[in-house]
Structure 1
Amino acid sequence: MAIFEHLEFFLIIPFIIYLFYLISTRGKTRPEPTNWPLVGMMPAVLQNLHRAHDYITEVLSACGGTFEFKGPWFCNLDMLFTSDPANIHHIFSRNFSNYPKGPDFRKIFEILGDGIFNADFELWEVHRKTTLSLLTHAKFYACLERTVWHKVETGLLPVLDYFSKRGTDFDLQDVFQRFTFDNISKLVLDYDPCSLCVELPYVACEKAFSNVVEPLLYRHIIPESLWKLQTWLKIATEKKLIDAAEAFDEFIYPHVCLKKGDDRKEGDFNLLTAFAKVYEEKNIGSSAGLRDFLRDTSLNLMFAGRDTTSTCLTWLFWLIAVNPLAEIKIRQEIETELHLKEDKKWRCFSVDESRKLKYLHGALCESLRLFPPVALEHKAPVRPDVLPSGHYIKQNGKIIFSFYSVGRMEAVWGKDCLEFRPERWISASGGIKHEPSYKFPAFNVGPRTCLGKDMAFIQMKMVAATIIYHYNIKLVEGHPVSPRDSIILQARDGLRVRLFKRHV
């Protein structure tokens, strides 16, 4: 079997790598990893695996934004890391057709099946066109507004009031993940699992999203033969992926049964109905059938709606907690633009009104710049290419883009790149300043730019404004907050806070 192809190496290589790891930890001050015989730069990876994103940023900063990583000679793990906006623009926009996701990406993210994240060429175009038609549907934003405010009133505020009255600390990241999971489930599957309530029930599918992001990162840096062996044995991080896939299937499949025939009304806003119609007309996806295609489609949309939004909100509240002046400015803007000073009473605001909250928009952009939810992207060229940085990429060569590093590059964002400054997003005329996506890739770049960008900002403003207006947020002293080493840039140990009700 293919998984045993290099099994003999797995018995001796860990010991060899460990020896080089011990040597590499002595007296080394430069960030660039040493390329050792046989094991390549893997010892440096092991040494810094607990801080992967910051280590990648240090290496890229020292190497001008692009670095060639050499893996163990037998593992096919050589790859090019880059955070250079010129390279990003070249690959994601100017030469888009030469850089599909490719077969390696699909193998790593096989759990996503035929969804939009894995799709290339015709399948991707169909996914994108159908999703865009739904997001521009006349009823969509009314549905979004209704869904978000319902969850704020029936889930978010009751839970926050519960903890505030008791004076106990809690994990705000967990609350955001439950909120966005319930919302995206309602929008995609027309089903609210009510994971956000005072009891904070355990919902296997909701937790599965957090459980998959770490194993997916490890699949990028360990030999394919090894993670396939782990899959076959159902051990280590691969066991988490197996369990997560079961949780996804058990949650999604019962909700992808569709109305048939005359029950389908022209003009109805129903996401699954729209994708079923496209599947039948275009005969797209694998041969697994409509039910599996709808599972994959739903899972991809839920992945995007749950993790990216909750991650941005988590880092926003950490950033404003350590930058209290920004919190004061956001609250003042909310009161002024929504006329709450005059009304003396909180009210739900519309999608159009959310666009008036420009300083809050800038704060969200800063959160996304410093902590982009999707921290890494992976590409492989169909044909050999030479990047603007001068680096040659062979056919099917692996390129890893560190979006986390882009926001922390002095050459890209200036000497204050590590500072939280919402003002950098406000133009001289008072509007929102536009930055090209290759410089601000939080929503991806080029033709694959996230279609739900506007939807995400609206939802995040509704949630953030509600919390900031009603509560003062205090971090739990001594609780560590750092990025998790995973594909999605969650806070490793959550965000533990205490809330104090404001008298408004």
Structure 2
Amino acid sequence: MDMLLCFVEIFSILCCCIIYYYHLQTKKASASEPTEWPVLGHLFGMFANIHRFHDWATDILAGGWHNFEARAGLTGIRFFITCDPSNVRHIFTSNFANYPKGDEYAEIFDVLGNGIFNADGESWRSQRAKAQMLMAGARFRAFAARSSRDKAEKSLLPLLAHAADTGARCDLHDLFLRLTFDVTCTLVFGVDTGCLSAGLPVIPFARAMDDVLETLFLRHIIPMSCWKLMYRLEVGTERKMAVARRTIDRFVAETIAKRRADMIRQGTSNSDDLLSSFISHDDDDTSNGNDVVDETDEFLRDTTVNLLLAGRDTTGAALSWFFYILSKNPRVEQKLLEELAPIAAQKGGDGGGMVIFDASELKNLVYLQAALSECLRLYPSVPFEHKAVAADDVLPSGHEMKAGDKVLVFSYSMGRMEGVWGKDCTEFLPERWITSEGKLRYEPSYKFFSFNAGPRTCLGKELAFVQLKTVAAAVMWNFAVEVVPGHAVEPKLSIILHMKNGLAVTVKRRATMASCQLVHESLAISHGWFRS
């Protein structure tokens, strides 16, 4: 009798749980929306799908007309998530002042100090104006183009040639991040860290930046009180952050001190890097008092770390996804090779048959620009942006925002929305960026959100495309890249769209047969050897 009563009780509880579960399902606006549980809210769904977070968010936004409010119950975590272009334009342009980065953003990204990414208001305007003035100069732009070309020619191509000759597999994602780290350190600090040296050494500073990016992502879904305590005690994921921050601070402090000493010894600076330019600019505008120097060093630390994060990881990630998606689209690869052929026809390779392209030669290549833009549409280097709400507001979508609310704008999801890019939104089609007249098609930044929008549009957009084109063209023309069969390619849990498992590839020299044939045809056409 007791067993029967126990069975009835268990059965009753089970039935109540099932009924309640179905009740929760009826409250969902779409099948893709996660279940909102008592106490935990949507937190269970977040952690259950953490391994595919970006695609999970995309599924939710596709079923929720590009908008969704994520709540984590009593934990206090609440975000309004959107990829609606009209909302993006409102937040980043029309009502820009009402949507700052906010104090919580600055706390999550505390490793960036008071740099341009964390700054709001007058501090942000001042830093942006100074950075824009230094980066827009013809001398720095030439220095950036030359650095990218030299690093590709003298470091990356020889490594790939060795892999091709020995038949060894290589992690192209790792190589690209090493290349962009070296180039960015050269541009920002005037120092070549040697990440692409023979043997591919482990660089503590580079490893520290990787640990920072992974931890910053997790801070978005762990309650602030929890990760702050973990950081203070140096336990869990925050232990890596604490160690990484000390490594970064030590490297930057030593580099700043050395550069100051070099400039004092030389009496001036002949370097084109941004650190030297900032020091020279500050020396012109400030006194030499000790208090001023200490403050300036803090500014230099924050500014250089911000610029390093912006330049290294975004470009390295973009190159990785470009060659991944290119390996799946041989038609696009062939068209790119055909576009490069006329330029290669006028150039001679070195003793190893290598061809390297100058930025000026690639500037007006329409299909290359279109292919890179299409890749960034599908795989934006920064998959989401974080904003706070300063005062009550109503978005164009009709959603009410309250002061203190947090907004996440998912650029990764926007590129996959049928309502934004059409039914072929998930396809890789560079042609969508080219008009019927063969010119590049303009897409507004609130729709093509890979470089942000409005007043905070990325200052390094043009420099990024120069580096992307230079490296992509050099690798593509000289080598055939194939992803290793069965290798799983998926996004890493990071604020940058890195590859979780890297990009394992095999490379083969473009037997001169394929490349030479393209060059021959190009020469034939240019000299009128072919007649219609």
TM-score, normalised to structure 1's length? 0.90
Equivalent position of 2:297 in the other structure: 291
What SS is found at the alignment partner of 1:474? strand
Equivalent position of 1:15 in the other structure: none
Could you list the per-position Cα deviations for residues 367-417 of structure 1 after superposition, in whole angstroms to 9, with x for gaps in the alignment? 110110111111112111111111111112111111100100000000000
Residues 301 and 423 of structure 1, relative CA distance in 2, 3 Å threshold:
same
Equivalent position of 2:4 in the other structure: none
Residues 282 and 438 of structure 1, relative CA distance in 2, 3 Å threshold:
farther
Equivalent position of 2:171 in the other structure: 171
Equivalent position of 1:316 in the other structure: 322
Structure 2 residue 332 is the aligned partner of structure 1 residue 326: yes
Letter in 1 for 2:379: F
Could you list the per-position Cα deviations for residues 266-313 of structure 1 after superposition, in whole angstroms to 9, with x for gaps in the alignment? 997442243335556489x99962222211111111111110000000
1:184, distance to aligned residue in structure 2 (A): 0.7
2: CA distance, partners of 1:228 / 1:286: 31
1: CA distance, partners of 2:151 / 2:250: 23
Letter in 2 for 1:503: A
Equivalent position of 2:11 in the other structure: none
Structure 2 residue 90 is the aligned partner of structure 1 residue 90: yes
What SS is found at the alignment partner of 2:138? coil
Could you list the per-position Cα deviations for residues 469-504 of structure 1 after superposition, in whole angstroms to 9, with x for gaps in the alignment? 111111111110011122111111000000001123
Question: Where does 1:61-80 land on structure 2 (aligned, <5 Å)?
Answer: 61-73=62-74, 75-80=75-80
Could you tell me whether the CA contact under 8 Å between 2:208 and 2:248 is conserved in 1? Answer: yes
2: CA distance, partners of 1:292 / 1:350: 37
Structure 2 residue 444 is the aligned partner of structure 1 residue 436: yes
Equivalent position of 1:7 in the other structure: none
What SS is found at the alignment partner of 2:81? strand
Question: Where does 1:46-445 land on structure 2 (aligned, <5 Å)?
Answer: 46-73=47-74, 75-257=75-257, 258=260, 265=268, 269-276=272-279, 281=285, 289-336=295-342, 338=343, 340-343=344-347, 345=349, 347-445=355-453
Could you tell me whether the CA contact under 8 Å between 2:263 and 2:269 is conserved in 1? Answer: no
2: CA distance, partners of 1:276 / 1:186: 16
Could you tell me whether the CA contact under 8 Å between 1:156 and 1:197 is conserved in 2? Answer: no
Question: Where does 1:22-37 land on structure 2 (aligned, <5 Å)?
Answer: 30-37=31-38
1:32, distance to aligned residue in structure 2 (A): 0.5
1:198, distance to aligned residue in structure 2 (A): 2.6
Structure 1 range deviating more: 169-178 or 248-257? 248-257
Could you tell me whether the CA contact under 8 Å between 2:34 and 2:42 is conserved in 1? Answer: yes
2: CA distance, partners of 1:282 / 1:359: 48
Question: Where does 1:487-498 land on structure 2 (aligned, <5 Å)?
Answer: 487-498=495-506
Q: Percent identity?
A: 41
What SS is found at the alignment partner of 1:378? strand
Could you list the per-position Cα deviations for residues 26-84 of structure 1 after superposition, in whole angstroms to 9, with x for gaps in the alignment? 999922011111111111111111110000000011000011111122x2211100000
What SS is found at the alignment partner of 1:441? coil
Structure 2 residue 472 is the aligned partner of structure 1 residue 464: yes
1:435, distance to aligned residue in structure 2 (A): 0.6
2: CA distance, partners of 1:317 / 1:394: 43
1:235, distance to aligned residue in structure 2 (A): 1.4
2: CA distance, partners of 1:192 / 1:124: 29
Could you tell me whether the CA contact under 8 Å between 2:153 and 2:356 is conserved in 1? Answer: no
2: CA distance, partners of 1:449 / 1:38: 39
2: CA distance, partners of 1:138 / 1:343: 25
What SS is found at the alignment partner of 1:377? strand
Could you tell me whether the CA contact under 8 Å between 1:60 and 1:67 is conserved in 2? Answer: yes
1:204, distance to aligned residue in structure 2 (A): 1.1
Structure 1 range deviating more: 241-250 or 430-439? 241-250
Structure number with larger C-alpha Rg: 2
Could you list the per-position Cα deviations for residues 98-141 of structure 1 after superposition, in whole angstroms to 9, with x for gaps in the alignment? 11111000000000112111111122112211111112212122
Could you tell me whether the CA contact under 8 Å between 1:372 and 1:489 is conserved in 2? Answer: yes
Structure 1 range deviating more: 171-180 or 482-491? 482-491
Letter in 1 for 2:66: G
Could you tell me whether the CA contact under 8 Å between 1:92 and 1:445 is conserved in 2? Answer: yes
Residues 361 and 46 of structure 1, relative CA distance in 2, 3 Å threshold:
same
2: CA distance, partners of 1:210 / 1:325: 34
Could you tell me whether the CA contact under 8 Å between 1:158 and 1:198 is conserved in 2? Answer: no
Could you tell me whether the CA contact under 8 Å between 1:209 and 1:307 is conserved in 2? Answer: no
Could you tell me whether the CA contact under 8 Å between 1:217 and 1:486 is conserved in 2? Answer: yes
Could you tell me whether the CA contact under 8 Å between 1:177 and 1:307 is conserved in 2? Answer: yes
Could you list the per-position Cα deviations for residues 132-156 of structure 1 after superposition, in whole angstroms to 9, with x for gaps in the alignment? 1112212122211221122112211
TM-score, normalised to structure 2's length? 0.85
1: CA distance, partners of 2:235 / 2:294: 27
Letter in 2 for 1:177: L
Structure 1 range deviating more: 472-481 or 350-359? 350-359
Structure 2 residue 484 is the aligned partner of structure 1 residue 476: yes
Letter in 2 for 1:341: A
Letter in 1 for 2:33: E
What SS is found at the alignment partner of 1:80? strand
2: CA distance, partners of 1:248 / 1:262: 26
Could you tell me whether the CA contact under 8 Å between 2:190 and 2:272 is conserved in 1? Answer: no
What SS is found at the alignment partner of 2:200? coil
Letter in 1 for 2:304: S
Could you tell me whether the CA contact under 8 Å between 1:141 and 1:351 is conserved in 2? Answer: no
Letter in 2 for 1:54: D
Q: CA RMSD in A?
A: 2.4
Aligned residues: 479
Q: Identify which of 492, 501, 504 aligns with 2:509.
A: 501
Could you tell me whether the CA contact under 8 Å between 2:187 and 2:272 is conserved in 1? Answer: no
2: CA distance, partners of 1:269 / 1:429: 40
2: CA distance, partners of 1:159 / 1:402: 36
1:213, distance to aligned residue in structure 2 (A): 1.8
Could you tell me whether the CA contact under 8 Å between 2:414 and 2:447 is conserved in 1? Answer: yes
